[in-house]
């Protein structure tokens, strides 16, 4: 402990200054995030917020994140480590571009920019910006390719390349993107937004070090990591010791996983050591398609599922993540794939199922622990659409991923699920598309978007309901790509809670006939045809008959629940109010309904 004097400095670091500097780092990341949001061009980034920023130490330890997608930022150290392994001449003014699943990135659509931050010639930090690009040059106009067995079918890969030197783009590398990627002006604009974010973070970090001094900032980092570690240990010590196993299953995908993909998580809680181990080695080998996880996604999802069950005030930094130990296996569908295994859907689908398995394992501790399963992605509500915009004199190509309806969140003890949850690895950070912005930007008419009645996972606390709606092209044929996990195996409830509604995608033809299409679908919707969708709902927590009747009547009055289901499932009888619109509880009939069940 006394070998360098560092432990003493950490123990005596001014707690007020610790709070100030941690907030300063968060504010820097917030400014980086706002830069990406304001400067990006594609709706999936600037409208739906499929992007994240972070700051790491130069030796690859996560310092801070701020309102970032959990799947993007919970294994960032894997993204920057390859840079110092591949380059021995990293210098000020450099920037590195990486979207390779074999060099620490989540999947190939998450183009990641990393900038080293120097102060007086000493490398101190990495600023990092990760954005999901609408296209990355795959043979088909989509970044989600469940049938792509190898990276050779995925489009452009930048395997940790130096894209800037002396603060300037390397034109030869940029030309690759401009030549290969569809709607390349949009791609380049989104890339430049990431450059702006990382350079903004670089400037702000230099100002911070200049203000407080390099020694103070270094001491803060060590104290901050130690604080994160202490908080995580204290939270883990509140959990029952034991090993808890939970299993989920991804939907069947013809030719890739005909029976679906079973996923098992074994979570071991050791309160004495303040340590949680997540063992996911006992799972199937990689499948011949794009559903395999990257190492970054597997590590992140193991951490995500645990963080959901710890104190929300635990800082997400290297200190706290060191108390969560993922155990992975090479060649496993939720482990470490070998080149050139396909991983284009690594951030969704199987990844969401893994995070669900981890978070739900805690429910085996009994109430009040754990949570239900959250709804998966994605129906056509999150479809990738492309075509030709003919609304103006000059016709232009378009491609984007819509975010019209985010899947329903899981219930946990004391709380209903979150309506705009999106999925287990997004957890409310993604933003539902603005109808007006989508319609102004793309030749699409959004006909409907509403909560789907009676779709939630019923429980003492309900999973969030599904959302349904429809949209169509205004200027001819439109290509649609969907990877709708949750159409066969919906999100399950726990501890007596019920499953949420499954997702689905339907085609309405020009005659108004509606027919369901495959959940994993790619095809053209012709002029005059419309896409109908329903997102996944979240699972419930606890026995529905124990739900507070006031919550039941609230759900009925906001049209989320029917009067009949209120009585049949929850044992709550309702009568119409004098206004002829709302409902109120029929106390006597409710007591009879619930009493009869108790007597039975």
Give the span between the Cα atoms of 96 and 194, in whole angstroms.
11
Report the C-alpha dihedral over residues 434, 440, 442, 445, rounded to 10 degrees: 70
pLDDT of the residue at 10: 75
pLDDT of the residue at 150: 97
pLDDT of the residue at 11: 72
Counting as low any pLDDT under 70, the low residues of the chain are: 1-8, 596-600
Contact between residue 573 and residue 585 where contact means Cβ atoms under 8 Å apart:
yes
End-to-end CA distance of the chain: 64
Helices then strands (H, E): number in the chain?
15, 22
Task: Please name which of 247, 335, 249, 347 lies closest in space to residue 290, comparing C-alpha atoms.
Answer: 347
Tokens of residue 249, six digits:
């299953």
Burial category of 434 from C-beta neighbours within 10 Å (exposed 0-12, middle 13-18, buried 19 and up): middle
221 HSE (CA, 13 A, CB side): 22
Give the span between the Cα atoms of 411 and 491, in whole angstroms.
11
Q: Where are the alpha helices (DSSP H) in 169-317?
A: 171-180, 184-212, 214-236, 295-307
pLDDT of the residue at 90: 98
Burial category of 92 from C-beta neighbours within 10 Å (exposed 0-12, middle 13-18, buried 19 and up): middle
Q: Which sign, positive or negative, has the C-alpha torsion 81, 83, 89, 91?
A: negative
For residue range 208-247, list pLDDT tens digits in order.
999 999 999 999 999 999 999 999 999 999 999 999 999 9
Contact between residue 363 and residue 300 where contact means Cβ atoms under 8 Å apart:
no
Contact between residue 263 and residue 350 where contact means Cβ atoms under 8 Å apart:
yes
- What radius of gyration, in Å, describes the C-alpha atoms of the chain? 25
Contact between residue 333 and residue 351 where contact means Cβ atoms under 8 Å apart:
no
**Which long-range contacts link 308-312 to residues 24+ away (Cβ below 8 Å)?**
308/359, 308/371, 308/427, 309/239, 309/359, 309/362, 309/369, 309/370, 309/371, 310/232, 310/235, 310/236, 311/231, 311/234, 311/235, 311/238
Tokens of residue 36, six digits:
């990406």
For residue range 60-106, list pLDDT tens digits in order.
999 998 889 999 999 999 999 999 999 999 999 999 999 999 999 99
Give the span between the Cα atoms of 12 and 492, in whole angstroms.
48
Q: Angle 121-191-144 (CA atoms, 0-180°, nearest 5)?
A: 125
Domain ranges within the chain, ordered by starting residue: 6-228, 372-544, 548-599
Contact between residue 450 and residue 467 where contact means Cβ atoms under 8 Å apart:
yes
- 3-state DSSP of 250-273: ECCECCCECCCEEEEEEEEEECCC
- As beta bridge partners, residue 55 has 64, 127
395 HSE (CA, 13 A, CB side): 6
Contact between residue 53 and residue 201 where contact means Cβ atoms under 8 Å apart:
yes
pLDDT of the residue at 596: 64
Residues 6+ apart with CB under 8 A from 225: 61, 317, 318, 319
Q: How many CB atoms lie within 10 A of CB 208?
A: 19
pTM equals: 0.95
Task: Please name which of 98, 106, 160, 131 lies closest in space to residue 32, comparing C-alpha atoms.
Answer: 131
């Amino acid at each position: 402990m006394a070998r360098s004097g560092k432990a003493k400095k950490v123990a005596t670091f001014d707690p007020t200054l610790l709070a100030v500097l941690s907030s300063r780092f968060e504010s820097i990341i917030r400014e980086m995030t706002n830069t990406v949001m304001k400067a990006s061009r594609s709706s999936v980034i600037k409208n739906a917020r499929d992007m994240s920023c972070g700051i790491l130490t130069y030796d690859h330890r996560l310092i801070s994140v701020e309102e970032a997608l959990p799947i993007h930022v919970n294994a960032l150290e894997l993204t920057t480590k390859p840079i110092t392994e591949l380059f021995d001449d990293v210098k000020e003014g450099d920037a590195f571009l990486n979207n390779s699943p074999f060099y620490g990135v989540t999947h190939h659509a998450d183009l990641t920019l990393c900038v080293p931050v120097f102060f007086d010639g000493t490398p101190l930090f990495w600023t990092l910006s990760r954005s999901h690009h609408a296209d990355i040059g795959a043979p088909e106009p989509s970044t989600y390719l469940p049938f792509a067995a190898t990276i050779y079918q995925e489009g452009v890969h930048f395997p940790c390349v130096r894209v800037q030197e002396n603060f300037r783009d390397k034109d030869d590398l940029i030309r690759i993107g401009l030549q290969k990627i569809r709607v390349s002006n949009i791609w380049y604009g989104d890339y430049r937004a990431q450059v702006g974010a990382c350079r903004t973070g670089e400037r702000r970090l230099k100002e911070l070090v200049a203000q407080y001094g390099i020694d103070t900032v270094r001491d803060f980092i060590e104290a901050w990591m130690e604080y994160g570690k202490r908080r995580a240990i204290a939270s883990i010590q509140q959990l029952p010791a034991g090993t808890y196993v939970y299993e989920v299953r991804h939907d069947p995908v013809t030719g890739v996983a005909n029976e679906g993909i079973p996923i098992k998580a074994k979570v071991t809680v050791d309160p004495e050591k303040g340590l949680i181990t997540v063992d996911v080695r006992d799972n199937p080998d990689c499948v011949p398609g794009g559903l395999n996880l990257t190492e970054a996604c597997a590590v992140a999802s193991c951490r995500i599922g645990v963080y959901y069950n710890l104190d929300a005030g635990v800082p997400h930094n290297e200190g706290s993540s060191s108390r969560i130990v993922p155990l992975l296996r090479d060649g496993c569908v939720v482990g470490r794939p070998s080149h050139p295994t396909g991983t284009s859907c690594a951030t969704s689908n199987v990844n969401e199922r893994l995070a669900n398995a981890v978070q739900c394992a805690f429910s085996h501790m009994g109430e009040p622990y754990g949570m239900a399963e959250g709804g998966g992605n994605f129906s056509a509500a999150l479809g990738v659409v492309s075509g030709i915009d003919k609304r103006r004199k000059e016709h232009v190509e378009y491609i984007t991923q819509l975010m019209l309806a985010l899947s329903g969140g899981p219930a946990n003890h004391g709380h209903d699920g979150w309506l705009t949850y999106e999925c287990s690895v997004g957890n409310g950070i993604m933003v539902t598309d603005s109808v007006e912005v989508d319609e102004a930007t793309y030749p699409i008419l959004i006909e409907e978007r509403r909560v789907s009645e009676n779709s939630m996972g019923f429980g003492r606390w309900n999973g969030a309901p599904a959302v349904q709606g429809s949209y169509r092209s205004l200027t001819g044929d439109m290509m649609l790509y969907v990877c709708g996990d949750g159409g066969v195996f919906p999100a399950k409830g726990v501890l007596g809670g019920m499953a949420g509604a499954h997702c689905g995608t339907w085609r309405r033809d020009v005659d108004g006939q509606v027919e369901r299409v495959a959940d994993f679908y790619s095809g053209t919707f012709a002029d005059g045809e419309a896409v109908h969708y329903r997102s996944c709902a979240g699972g419930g927590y606890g026995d529905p008959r124990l739900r507070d009747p006031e919550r039941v009547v609230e759900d009925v009055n906001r049209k989320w629940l029917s009067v009949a289901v209120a009585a049949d499932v929850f044992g709550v009888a309702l009568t119409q109010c004098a206004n002829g619109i709302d409902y109120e509880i029929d106390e006597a009939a409710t007591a009879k309904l619930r009493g009869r069940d108790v007597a039975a």
